[in-house]
Amino acid sequence: MKNKLIILLTLASLAFVNSTNKLPKVLIIGDSISGGYFPYVQEQLKGKALLFQPENIDEKGKLTSCEGTTKALKEIDRWLGNKDWDIIHFNFGLHDIKHIDPESGKNSKNLNHPQQANPEQYGKNLRIIVEKLKATNAKLIFATTTPYPDKLGKQMRTPGMPKIYNEVALDIMVKNGIEVNDLYSLVLPRMKELQRPNNVHFTEIGSKVLGKQVAQIINNNL
Domain ranges of the chain: 24-219
Q: Which region, left, alpha or beta, applies to residue 198 given φ > 0 means left and ψ of -120 to 50 means alpha?
A: left
List phi, psi (to 5°) of 116: -55, -45
Q: Residue 154: its pLDDT value, please?
A: 86
CATH numeric code, 24-219: 3.40.50.1110
Q: Residue 28: its pLDDT value, please?
A: 98
Q: Residue 64: its pLDDT value, please?
A: 82
Q: Residue 82: its pLDDT value, please?
A: 87
Q: Residue 32: its pLDDT value, please?
A: 94
Mean pLDDT of successive 10-residue stretches along the chain, which has 222 residues: 47 41 94 96 98 84 86 97 95 97 94 97 98 98 97 93 98 98 98 96 98 98 95
- Side-chain-side CA neighbours of 106 within 13 Å: the count stands at 2
Nearest one of 120, 54, 122 to 93, comparing CA atoms:
122
Spatial contact of 189 and 140, defined as CB atoms under 8 Å apart: no
Q: Residue 1: its pLDDT value, please?
A: 55
List phi, psi (to 5°) of 212: -65, -45
**Stretch (H or E) spanning 184:** helix 183-187
Nearest one of 67, 60, 56, 61 to 93, comparing CA atoms:
67
Q: Residue 3: its pLDDT value, please?
A: 53
Nearest one of 23, 56, 82, 71 to 222, comparing CA atoms:
23
**Stretch (H or E) spanning 79:** helix 69-80
